[in-house]
Copies of this chain bind each other. A is one copy, B any other.
């Protein structure tokens, strides 16, 4: 059986979906099809919240109603080969699908370290598969001890959520000296650690997992200090590697093992083939070197550029490279990070000036539900261009980090921060006299 479409997209995650919707918007006359696995879709960033916050885990399903609504076709199946010369792809189900323009949005696969016991029953990598995750949620609810491997975003969010389940003891293992070490400086990361410790999570920093023990199914996790933690379940949250097999077999250029090579417009080395999202190498905004950032927000930004530019370069790519912008929420504490931390700026050999500020996030601070908002800004030492920022505090920090992100993408200077005009309101923000983005810029001074 063989069918032909104008635009064929392989992958039904956020990158694939947004490419399809954008292609539809810019090329209303073209046929658009998404090939995706049979499994039910899931909202990636909502995964931790299936364990406790959502009333029912199934509420984290990613629906595909927008396909019908926007006249996008769907083929359930798994692409197994690309034949660029014939402009066709083949599926495991032996379908042949012709394309004018092909977009690979094949995503990533969770990393599982090569340790003994990683294949025991009860050991779960995080997969973007609704039924698989619902199964894991059900299991964890009856556990006594759950080990989470990896103290990045997914790890700390899982720890926070699972610790809220009655009777479950959470153990969080991180190989680096601090939690969230790639995205926050230690003084911010420790705010998260304090929250987790206060709610009873056992945090093991600077600690390597050596093996999972058990006979057929997991019973414990042995650490590099020879301690063995009891474990009914273990969850890996230590990152993912790009799915590049399909691209590699078709002869597309890769960027080492960091993903599919693409140009500024998400075009691969082969004519008529684009790639977007986790399967694509990410480049750092400041250095243009590869960077291991896999985020739905980056993926959707890429998808919008690819979808618009499939037939003609219609939307000029204005913002280049990934700035690594995140927000997280741990036990009521909100943290955001954008661009370089002090640590990562030093590692890149930037000369830097750093400023800090803190202020109540309402004014007067006597208003109910006032939190302290902490801000740290990192500027380049000589040009005084913003390199990065971190915030911690109440819910408003979730959008505040996007002001910093926008400033990074527009190369704002310290003087511009100092003289920034911002909306302030008693219930919603710090006072104009103390607005912490402004004060942090004002406070910035060289650090050794």
Contact = CB atoms under 8 A, between A and B. Distances in A.
A164 interface: no
Contacts of A329: 425-428
Interface string A10-38: 00001001100010010000000000000
A139 interface: no
Q: Which residue among A14, A43, A425 has the maximum number of chain B CB atoms within 10 Å of its CB?
A: A425
A46 B304 contact: no
Contacts of A423: 297, 325-327, 336-338, 398, 401-402, 405
Interface stretch (A49-57, A184-192, A199-207, A342-350): A49-57
A410 interface: yes
Contacts of A415: 315-318
Given A398-B423, A432-B14, A407 B410 contact: yes
Interface stretch (A101-109, A211-219, A238-246, A360-368): A360-368
A431 interface: yes
B406 A410 contact: yes
Nearest to A50: B364
A128 to B, nearest CB: 14
Contact of A409 (B22, B45, B421, B427): B421
Contacts of A111: none
Contacts of A401: 423
Tell me the interface secondary structure of chain A in the complex.
mixed
A394 B425 CA distance: 14
B364 A322 contact: no
A14 B420 CA distance: 16
A145 interface: no
B49 A426 contact: yes
A158 to B, nearest CB: 13
A166 to B, nearest CB: 19
B297 A424 contact: yes
Nearest to A302: B419
Contacts of A84: none
Contacts of A413: 318
Contact of A395 (B14, B395, B426): B395
Given A319-B416, A399-B403, A413-B318, A364 B46 contact: yes
A364 B43 contact: yes
A392 interface: no
Contact-size category for A: 35 or more
Nearest to A317: B419
A319 B364 contact: no
A402 B400 contact: yes
Contacts of A327: 423-425, 428-429
A18 B308 CA distance: 47
A357 interface: no
A396 interface: yes
Contacts of A420: 301, 319, 405-406, 409
B410 A422 contact: no
Contact of A49 (B367, B406, B424, B442): B367
B406 A366 contact: no
A312 to B, nearest CB: 14
Interface of A: 14, 17-18, 22, 25, 43, 45-46, 48-49, 53-55, 59-61, 295-301, 304-305, 308, 315-319, 322-323, 325-329, 334, 336-338, 363-364, 366-368, 395-403, 405-407, 409-410, 412-413, 415-416, 418-429, 431-433, 435, 438, 442
18 contacts: A14-B432, A22-B442, A45-B432, A46-B364, A54-B364, A54-B366, A304-B418, A315-B415, A326-B423, A334-B427, A396-B399, A398-B423, A398-B428, A399-B402, A400-B402, A403-B406, A405-B420, A405-B421
Pick the 5 closest A-B CB pairs, nearest first.
Answer: A398-B428, A410-B410, A399-B399, A59-B366, A327-B423
